[in-house]
Structure 1
């Protein structure tokens, strides 16, 4: 595929700002690897104030980034790029994503895909009649549904919603950004994640209560949007926002890291968080809640540890010896290097594109977009 250059257009939530979302780092790694494989990528991002004031990427040589202010500007300025692209992907949580998606499927001459970084949340919203960024009828109009969730959910997307091709497209990590490095271990256990109401009870159970049992140990919770009235124990440090450039050092400064999964993702199963892969890539041992399909990603007890209570967390922190801890971390490190890098996802996308071409009979078009490193706001 490296000699078969594709012209790819991505409409995503954000690539310029990681503030309050995990989409940006996912897009950055994928786009960079697609560029390495010889493809041309144009990224279209809605210019919204909360990302504009929190941008942590201003120069990105792997794709052309265009900021658009509304749907009219998207249609008028980028119609030709969408029409001539070989592949157009619309991500979850794109503002006015239903209308943007209709524009794409009606305009594109190549393969179209919905890229769902939030699949269980998306399907739960649809069940409630909440069509914030995808409508059930639109699912069947995309040639592909690329999902952060695998397993039985893919069958549901095809059978219940009529997708012609639903495929697992898990999150990934960037090995140029996430790797082991020597750091002082500041914290016994750390957690990185934006506040969500459904994650807060397990975070309280698995970390906060454990911290209360271990007052001599230091803990940390990093991420934005936590309510000011949460009472944190004195030995739990809070970091409001941790830019991606600091994530590697953060993981490498923990003896263990904690993974907490959204409730919708637990119900769906087969929904690994990007934080799992990033922490494993830093060779930081992971303590996680449990969900169906976790054992298809990591071998439980050998590559990842499971906690269901504060008592479990305390036991794991106290009783896991340093040699055991290092062995668990090393096995998880090797697993993600073999299966879950951004380069693996770029190759999977190429394969899915070819599969969709075969299914649809669409002829490959000729790319028209040039790569440049500037971010353009029209």
Structure 2
């Protein structure tokens, strides 16, 4: 089956945390026989910061961020059996969603793939005319990057015919243990872009422990932190391309995951970083959120922190031996239960079931 996928970027992780999720899911679907075209706009300097060149398993279309190019790529939706609009493209999001409904064939499966479901649902609660809310009756399904039962219930209450979470996972060919890199040596490393709905939690779970442990070394990576006031023992390395993620995760004694506000509130939303770190056999410390035990076992495969004091206590008592044991246990768990190959089996089943239902109606 042919998939037309309209998303933020497959080629660049620059201000685009969903890149590795798209790569993992779609490459695994391609290996199952799907013919995929990924459409991404040339916007936000992402094409100047590519992590990869177009891979062999996808037809990559980069279009100019103007209305003429938008109409051109939307017209190609008519050639696909499955048409997907992902959230957070950043330009023409409303027009893309309306466009796939207009241009997709009547017998095509039309999906909204939400990689920020908690935030989208918050927006819909406050805006009865929200584009996604208007589109839901005309979509066959919503897939989300996480959220569990709360997101399923909320999306279906808004009128989604079906909502299925497809969680982040590991691509072991991309994220795996590598030798340590001295440039990333520290006691605790954190990698994420600076966003308004995460910043206060970063202050609590990362910067406060750094201030409390002045003899320890901390490292922060990602876009936007250059002008953030930080303790003297925190080093900012800026944007870290996906090609460096393994070394970034393997080198420190521990790495930190901090959920965005909405994802922490809803739970069941492991970030891509969780599986990338586990895939590199890193010792992961995560802020507490409901559902973590579905992915990693607390105290054995991951360390869970309720606040910054917990992070500091974990670091103060964490030996190199225990950190390695936790990292190896996490790696074994994700290889066994949380790979993109396994996620693709689920997506394939969901898509084929939707296709069968559509043919029955026809």
- Aligned equivalent of 1:74: 70
**3-state SS, counterpart of residue 330 of structure 1:** helix
Tell me, in whole angstroms, the C-alpha distance in 2 between the residues paired with 1:139 and 1:99.
15
Tell me, in whole angstroms, the C-alpha distance in 2 between the residues paired with 1:310 and 1:101.
40
- Aligned equivalent of 1:89: 84
Tell me, in whole angstroms, the C-alpha distance in 2 between the residues paired with 1:183 and 1:53.
28
The gaps in structure 2 that reach 5 residues or longer are none
**3-state SS, counterpart of residue 199 of structure 1:** helix
| Corresponding residue to 1:115 among 92, 105, 113 | 113
What is the CA distance between 1:183 and its match in structure 2?
1.2
- Aligned equivalent of 1:172: 169
Q: TM-score, normalised by structure 2?
A: 0.91
Going by fraction, where is helix more abundant, 1 or 2? 2
Select between 316-325 and 350-359 the one with higher mean Cα deviation. 316-325
| Corresponding residue to 2:320 among 317, 322, 326 | 322
**Shift in CA distance, 98/78, structure 1 to aligned 2, threshold 3 Å:** closer
Select between 67-76 and 170-179 the one with higher mean Cα deviation. 67-76
Q: Deviations over 1:175-226 (max 9, x none)?
A: 1111112315711100000002232222222222222232222110101012
| Residues 177-192 of structure 1 aligned to structure 2 (within 5 Å) | 177-183=174-180, 186-192=185-191
| Corresponding residue to 1:242 among 240, 243, 249 | 240
- Aligned equivalent of 1:163: 160
Q: TM-score, normalised by structure 1?
A: 0.88
| Corresponding residue to 1:142 among 139, 145, 148 | 139
Tell me, in whole angstroms, the C-alpha distance in 2 between the residues paired with 1:93 and 1:289.
24
The gaps in structure 1 that reach 5 residues or longer are 1-5, 365-378
Would the aligned equivalents of 1:208 and 1:232 in 2 still touch at CA under 8 Å? yes
Q: Is residue 56 of structure 2 the alignment partner of residue 61 of structure 1?
A: yes
| Residues 296-335 of structure 1 aligned to structure 2 (within 5 Å) | 296-335=294-333
How many corresponding residue pairs? 355
Q: Deviations over 1:144-169 (max 9, x none)?
A: 100112222102211x2111111011
Q: Deviations over 1:78-113 (max 9, x none)?
A: 52x312312111101122222212221232221111
Q: Deviations over 1:7-43 (max 9, x none)?
A: 1110011112211111222222222222222221111
**3-state SS, counterpart of residue 139 of structure 1:** helix
Q: Is residue 34 of structure 2 the alignment partner of residue 34 of structure 1?
A: no
